[in-house]
Amino acid sequence: MDDMQFQDLNRQKIERVMNLLIEKHQIPKETLEEAKIKTSPSAHHIDHEDGDCVSDEELAKMILEMKNGTL
C-alpha cells in the first residue's frame, strides 16, 4: 500500500468517526456552520460485511468510469 492509499484510508476513517459523532450527539447543521466545520459523506464499503454497501449499479458505474478514465 503506497502513501496515497494509506492517507486516503485514514481520511475515510476520520470522516466516518466525525459523521458518527455528529449523528450520535445530534449536532445541528447550524452549529457546524457556525464553527466552520465542513462534513463529507462517509465512504461506502464495496462488500456488505461491514455496513453500508455500494450497490451493483454504483459499482458497475465506477468500473466503467475507471476504464474510460473519467473517475
What are the sequence ranges of the domains in the chain? 1-40, 41-71
Cα 37-41-44 angle, rounded to 5 deg: 150
- Cell 500500500, residue located: 1
| pTM value surpassing 0.75 | no
CB neighbour class for 21 (10 Å; exposed up to 12, middle 13-18, buried from 19): exposed
16: cell is: 466516518
Per-residue pLDDT of the chain (71 residues; tens, 9 = 90+): 578 888 888 888 888 888 888 888 888 888 888 888 877 777 666 665 666 666 778 878 878 887 887 65
